Amino acid sequence: MLTDKEIFHLARQDKPYRVSDGEGLYLEIKPDGSKYWRLAYRYAGKQKTLALGVYPEVGAKMAREKRREAKALLAANLDPGLQRKVEKLTAHLSVANTFEAIAREWHEKRENGLAEITANKTIKALETHAFPLIGSLPVLAIEPAHILAVVTSIDAKGKGETARRVRAWIEAVFRYAIVTQRLKVNPASEIRSGEVLKPVKEKHLDSLPIAQLPSFLRSLEDPSKHVDYRTRLALRLLALTFVRPGELNWAMWNEFDLKAKEWRIPPVRVEGKGRGMKMREEHVVPLSDQAIAIIEKLRALTGGYRFLFPCKGDPTKGMSENTLRMAIQKGLGFPVTAHGFRATATSALLELGWDAHIIDRQLAHRERKKVFGAYSHQAEYMIERRNMMQSWADHLDKLEKGADIISFHAA
């Protein structure tokens, strides 16, 4: 057996040479002076060599222990070299099958069909809340208790809605793992938000009641309300056009033809970044005289930018999705959502006598066949829609000036 002193003094030579330690274990000294532990053994009648490490990282004592382990495998009729390959492959698969690895794979395949802001929100939430706790665990090792720890830790911070979304995304990741044959049972299916999370104490109304439209419109001119002037214009344009908030936030100047009195929202904006049309097809919004007046006011403020409402922190992007919500709820004091104006406008226009088909086409619903039934979804109704949008703008003007809300049948 070699001593550490003997190993230390083994000198380099012009060619590699070997020094035996016994029972097939030896050191191979390279011309550059490096020393490699090797084990010579026979398996199935063939002479083989197993690398055991480099000296001094692997000392004599450790090398002999590795020799003992290899001999034990041979005694069990197992090839230690093949066993090492199996262990490396298993370790590789274990890393590839961690929750984080599979979640990122799921997200990469999923994000192509999502707006960038939605995709970023999903992966950011997983990175913040899920990966630190369960990201390094193989999916096979994750149990409902692990997932419960993730969602309850979020809920404890008062972020109940985030906890519910993260739980849903975790469940989706496990479904993907099952589809790709890396898992058989979804542990997240055992976690029910209503059973483990605190009930939501405050829930904003989805839409503004029709009766509150006059006070909302007047609040947009109230100087005591702490809302930025451009945001006030954005909210007024939202009320006039009732587009989806994301479509308004990223509205671009090249989408507007004021001579034709049209706003054409494309399916995708900024090379896939930013919210285009939800249904991935161009949508035409007829512009009322009042909407054009707002756009002209905006031109003096943001006409030099790409967007009507550039983000204050980064004008190469559209307005933040939280801006309108915060302005409505905190600035103006109405507990409703920006998206809810679509429902408010729909209800009001139906009461005013406008045809459901025309309203629905202006809402750009792909599912309108299911909503209203027997009519062709290809019909554009552009003349009727132009009349409706101007009539709607005139109606809002009357409400703001104090006119009573009276139902009448549209011509």
Positions annotated as catalytic residues are 244, 273, 339, 342, 365, 375
Neighbours of 15 (CB within 10 A): 8
Instruction: Tell me the β-bridge partners of 26.
Output: 20, 38
Question: Cα(265)–Cα(275) distance, rounded to whole angstroms?
Answer: 10
Provide the residue type at 352 as one letter.
Answer: L
Let me know how long the chain is: 411
Calculated CA dihedral for residues 214, 216, 221, 226, nearest 10 degrees? 160
Dist CA 109 CA 123 (whole Å): 12
User: Which strand (E) or helix (H) includes residue 19?
Assistant: strand 17-22
Q: What single-letter DSSP state applies at residue 37? A: E
- The rounded distance, in Å, linking the Cα atoms of 1 and 21 is 5
Closest Cα partner for 386 from 245, 308, 291, 297?
Answer: 291
SS3 annotation, 259-316? CCCEEEECCCCCCCCCCCCCCCCCEEEECCHHHHHHHHHHHHHHCCCCECCECCCCCC
Query: Counting Cβ atoms within 10 Å, is residue 17 exposed (0-12), middle (13-18) or buried (19+)?
Result: middle
Q: How crowded is residue 90: how many other Cβ atoms within 10 Å of its Cβ?
A: 10
In the chain the first and final C-alpha atoms are separated, in Å, by 105
Whole-number Å distance between alpha carbons of 364 and 28: 75
Rounded to 10 deg, the angle between the 341-351 and 382-401 helix axes is 100
SS3 readout for 165-206: HHHHHHHHHHHHHHHCCCCCCCHHHHCCHHHHCCCCCCCCEC
Backbone φ and ψ for 304, nearest 5 degrees, come out as: -85, -5
